[in-house]
């Protein structure tokens, strides 16, 4: 599938599929890579989503018709894209207790023990399909339906940064303190968003997240190291996680 839709005077959407899948995500990664390599002066930025890419452009540099032709040219080169292997970012996570107040709710809802929820949640590699909602918030694919749980009936007015939550069949991480209605099962001391860091956003669409259970003592140790600027999360190459 390849469909182009105008979005106002300076935006355009390139639709590459209709279903959320790793295969479509790979096409989006390849398309983004070709845009990055080509660096067309008329394209200001682009944002990958579940099944499409939204681009913003300067109409004084490139017109709509010229841009659509250019994007068609990029599509024709997709098979040539040498997309690098994805990274796996290992996210240390302290589950339950005051850092994961809804862990027992998720366990009860699914007829599991809290330890079983932790095991099920931390086993998969989660594909980062896109970022949105707040800076650096990852929309992850790959969570087991065995721990799917509805959102809270009444959202919290403030969810701490680093909180790991479940909403329906999705899981995610809050990069900053915001209101939210997800079931919070744990927290990571790693900063997904830091405006003073370069790059400011830790995660990237097309890469993977691996949750690593840690104790509360380990959490506080890593938290201190993060604040001192001397902690880096472990990053491995997809397919070579160990």
| pLDDT tens digit sequence for 75-134 | 999 988 888 899 999 999 999 999 999 999 999 999 999 999 999 999 999 999 999 989
- pLDDT value at residue 205: 93
- pLDDT value at residue 147: 99
Classify the C-alpha dihedral 210-168-133-8 as positive or negative.
positive
pLDDT above 60 (res 206):
yes
- Could you give the CA distance from residue 70 to residue 54 in angstroms, rounded to a whole number? 15
Provide CB contacts within 8 A for 163, sequence distance 6+.
Answer: 99, 173, 174, 180, 182, 184, 186, 187
Q: What pTM value is reported for the model?
A: 0.90
Question: What's phi and psi for 73, nearest 5 deg?
Answer: -65, -40
In this prediction, residues 191-220 reach a mean pLDDT of: 96
With H, G, I as helix, E, B as strand and everything else as coil, classify residue 64: helix
pLDDT in tens, 130-185: 999 899 999 999 999 999 999 999 999 999 999 999 999 999 999 999 999 999 99
- First and final C-alpha spacing in the chain: 36
Instruction: Give the CA radius of gyration of the chain.
Output: 20
Only one residue has tokens 């370069």, namely 198
- Domains defined along the chain, listed by start: 3-80 (3.30.1360.40), 87-237 (2.40.100.10)
- Residue among 65, 51, 55 nearest 130 (CA): 51
Only one residue has tokens 């005051």, namely 98
């Amino acid at each position: 599938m390849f469909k182009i839709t105008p979005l106002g005077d300076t935006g355009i959407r390139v639709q590459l599929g209709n279903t959320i899948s790793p295969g479509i995500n790979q096409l989006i990664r390849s398309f983004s890579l070709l845009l990055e390599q080509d660096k067309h002066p008329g394209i200001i930025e682009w944002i990958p989503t579940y099944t499409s890419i939204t681009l913003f452009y300067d109409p004084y540099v490139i017109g709509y018709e010229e841009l659509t032709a250019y994007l068609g040219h990029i599509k024709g080169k997709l098979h040539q894209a040498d997309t690098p292997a994805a990274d796996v970012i290992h996210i240390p996570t302290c589950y339950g207790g005051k850092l994961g107040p809804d862990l027992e709710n998720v366990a009860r809802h699914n007829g599991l023990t809290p330890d079983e929820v932790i095991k099920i949640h931390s086993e998969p590699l989660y594909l980062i399909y896109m970022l949105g909602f707040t800076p650096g918030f990852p929309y992850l694919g790959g969570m087991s339906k065995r721990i799917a749980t509805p959102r809270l009936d009444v959202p919290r007015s403030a969810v701490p940064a680093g909180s790991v939550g479940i909403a329906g069949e999705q899981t995610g991480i809050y990069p900053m303190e915001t209101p939210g209605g997800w079931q919070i099962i744990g927290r990571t001391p790693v900063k997904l968003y830091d405006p003073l860091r370069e790059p400011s956003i830790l995660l990237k669409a097309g890469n993977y997240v691996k949750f690593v259970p840690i104790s509360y003592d380990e959490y506080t140790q890593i938290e201190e190291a993060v604040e001192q600027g001397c902690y880096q999360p472990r990053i491995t190459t997809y397919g070579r996680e160990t």
